[in-house]
Amino acid sequence: MPDNDALDIRTGLPDALRVLLQAYPRDTWPEHDNFAGLVAFWLERHLLFRRLLGAIITDTERAIDSAVERNAYAARLSRSGGMLLQGLHGHHQIEDHHYFPMLGAREPMLERGFTLLDADHHAMDGLLDGFARGANAVIEDKSEPGLFHGDLMRFHALLDRHLVDEEELIVPVILKHGPGGLG
């Protein structure tokens, strides 16, 4: 039987983990007193990951269409891909070892959610490795951008699922309790 909470299966957070999100809907976050600082910075990191991946997808599509020179594409893929991988690895380490334990202690009823997000990070290790292998194959001219594109789109879908779920679990906890001790 599949794990319905697994990153590659779920379509959102289970209802039991959305309790604080109902009290702190996404569209109200920027006006909340506890938004500035840590929450804003953390969401900016997520936006950076989304932008980097969006640029990689656009460049890959342009390379497939021969609208960009192969060496220029490879150089941008190397630079943007490296930034994305390094950023995600570091971000996940900080969350797993610092944020998730502290936030879970603040909201014990959401502990299952922090366990779910930690499991996402372990699942994403394989995705990040696959991304790196695929990007390196293209950069080293051992594979075509079209082959990489399919894996890239799967990576995009799973990363976005994870980022949205992470935001919808973590931001309401910080808004409710404040950032004290987290930064």
Q: For residue range 43-86, list pLDDT tens digits in order.
A: 999 999 999 999 999 999 999 999 999 999 999 999 999 999 99
Domain contains 22: yes
In angstroms, the CA 167 to CA 49 distance is: 13
Domain contains 2: no
pLDDT tens for each residue of 4-33: 899 999 999 999 999 999 999 999 999 999
Q: Which domain holds residue 55?
A: 17-177
Domain contains 51: yes
Domain contains 83: yes
Instruction: Show the tokens assigned to 55.
Output: 């640029």
Domain contains 6: no
In angstroms, the CA 81 to CA 109 distance is: 37
Q: How many CB atoms lie within 10 A of CB 76?
A: 18
How does DSSP classify residue 8?
T
Domain contains 62: yes
Domain contains 118: yes
Domain contains 4: no
Q: How many domains does the chain have?
A: 1
In angstroms, the CA 119 to CA 163 distance is: 13
pLDDT value at residue 1: 38
In angstroms, the CA 173 to CA 84 distance is: 26
